[in-house]
Chain A
Amino acid sequence: MKKIINDPSAVVADALKGVEAAHPELKVDHQHKVIYRADTPRGGKVGIISGGGSGHEPLHGGFVGLGMLDAACAGEVFTSPVPDQMVAATKLVDGGAGVLHVVKNYTGDVMNFEMAAELAAAETGVEVISVVTDDDVAVQDSTWTAGRRGVGATVLLEKIAGAAAEQGRSLAEVADVARKVNANGRSMGAALTSCTVPAVGHPTFDLGDDEFEFGVGIHGEPGRQRLKLVGAKELAELLVEPILADLPFASGDAVVAFVNGLGGTPLIELYVLYGEVARILAAHGVTVARSLVGPFITSLDMAGASVTLLKVDDELLGLWDAPVRTPALRWGI
């Protein structure tokens, strides 16, 4: 394992020190491992927090700032944060208008956020609404599974719900916008390599030089199928077609097209993939209203990419274009 770290067990704590040093507009509660806006709480504004296992940076801490999250809880690598952390974050951002919890649909995350929402409400009376993202079409949704995973749409949701909160909308309205994003977003990913969890020290799974993992998640958990390596054109088809069929997206729809790197794939390859994705969308008559290309929800050093499509109307597009100033996303300011 070759990593720029001091001690495998201190990676999260050390990274939070770096975040604090790099971004004076943010503060860090090191005890609870919470990154939060220096200007929170803001009276009358709905607070938005998220959180999850570390290793997906910039998600979630890199999205704390004006027009997006008010706070983010960092769990251990690939492990949900614990309720104490979400309770601390909820109290930090509660400006009296309630707090939205953005939760990716993983068993651990859902359980810990549920406990936190109960504890926070019991301790301070704060109103909490949780919105769970589950946009990964790789997982068959059924009563016999934990349901679909929350992946790329989470990034788009945090941006759009953050803009709605910044406009002064109520908690119920912000939650509605968040649910609308989740309902209209779909994702699919593929990994070319495994990732290496620092505390483990070796790759989570083995992949042959000529193989890739199709329908992969963001934790190094194996995907839907192991396939022989293909070129960017064919990979784009494999990723985009199931997404289009699932919502379904139709000719004439406008989308935010998001090509995401999983951490170990260079931007040049993401643009190769984006070009192929754009070509497929054009062939289906789907209009790309906005695009986002880059590593925004990663899986440590995993090579690979995911595609997320979000069907947008004027409301979602207006919120997408609203000003945002965070370490990882900033425009309009």
Chain B
Amino acid sequence: MTNRVTVAALDAWLRAFAGLVAEHEDELSRLDAAIGDADHGANMNRGLTAATAALDALAAGEPPPAAGAVLSRVGMTLISTVGGASGPLFGTFFLRMGTTLGDHETPTVETLAAALRAGLAGVVQRGKAEVGDKTMYDALAPAVEAFEAALAAGEPLAGALAAASKAADDGCTATIPLVARKGRASYLGERSVGHQDPGATTVGLFFRAALDAGIDAAAAGREAG
């Protein structure tokens, strides 16, 4: 029996992410005000509200969407609605995830791990960020690594997501003492020290959303596409 994740679970994860960003909109914008231009929360909330509407439209269609289509639609919607650097970066992350998930209806957890890894690669390609630049990369890269490591150690999906969430949160906190080297925060140089990166914080919310949504593997015997 293979551990798989259902489209319904991915849908719930994305909606929980949108909900968390809406809830934390002011906090994200406050973090951005310290080292950017105070609009990260509003921009991400606008994009994810549109993405939720796109998920509704997809869910109403027949046949039910494949996993890749769900993630790709969210990515395209973010690219078209968020603007700034966050639109292309988060949009590319979900688009690349979607490409890897393809038309599987219930991808394996290993495919999900590959999708997260591909999403990370897309973010690096678009943003050219490296470790320690004080960007979303500093939460996303450790989260993806922790997820892969947990799966390799035999953790079930829920445990691997918990490990990813903890790694993302630790990565967020680790951005506080860093000097920003990418994006608007880099204009501040040393003055960017002491503030948590808003993009990394949003990545933390993405993985926390998986826990909030109670994502676990469907003990699916059903073979799927």
Q: Are B184 and A204 in contact (CB under 8 A)?
A: no
Contacts of A140 in B (CB 8 A): 189
Q: How far is the CB of B181 from chain A (nearest CB, A)?
A: 5
B177-197 interface mask toward A, CB cutoff 8 Å, 1 = contact, 0 = none? 000011110111101000000
A92-112 interface mask toward B, CB cutoff 8 Å, 1 = contact, 0 = none? 000000000000001110011
Interface centre among B46, B84, B127 (most CB of A within 10 A): B84
**B43 contacts chain A at the CB level, 8 A cutoff:** yes
Interface centre among B38, B43, B86 (most CB of A within 10 A): B38
Question: How many A residues touch the partner, as a band?
Answer: 20 to 34
**B68 contacts chain A at the CB level, 8 A cutoff:** no
Contacts of A199 in B (CB 8 A): 39, 42
Contacts of B126 in A (CB 8 A): 111
Contacts of A271 in B (CB 8 A): none
**A264 contacts chain B at the CB level, 8 A cutoff:** no
A14-35 interface mask toward B, CB cutoff 8 Å, 1 = contact, 0 = none? 0000000000000000000000
Asked if A149 meets B187 with Cβ closer than 8 Å, knowing A75-B83, A79-B83, A111-B85, the reply is yes
Q: Are A144 and B181 in contact (CB under 8 A)?
A: yes
A173-210: which have CB < 8 Å to B?
Answer: 197, 199-200, 204-205
A197-241 interface mask toward B, CB cutoff 8 Å, 1 = contact, 0 = none? 101100011000000000001011110000000000000000000
Q: Are A205 and B33 in contact (CB under 8 A)?
A: yes
**A77 contacts chain B at the CB level, 8 A cutoff:** yes
**B82 contacts chain A at the CB level, 8 A cutoff:** yes
Contacts of B182 in A (CB 8 A): 107, 146
Q: Are B184 and A146 in contact (CB under 8 A)?
A: yes
**A82 contacts chain B at the CB level, 8 A cutoff:** yes
Q: Are B79 and A79 in contact (CB under 8 A)?
A: no
**A308 contacts chain B at the CB level, 8 A cutoff:** no
Q: Are B186 and A144 in contact (CB under 8 A)?
A: yes
How far is it, in angstroms, between the C-alpha of A214 and the C-alpha of B87 when the chains are bound?
A: 30
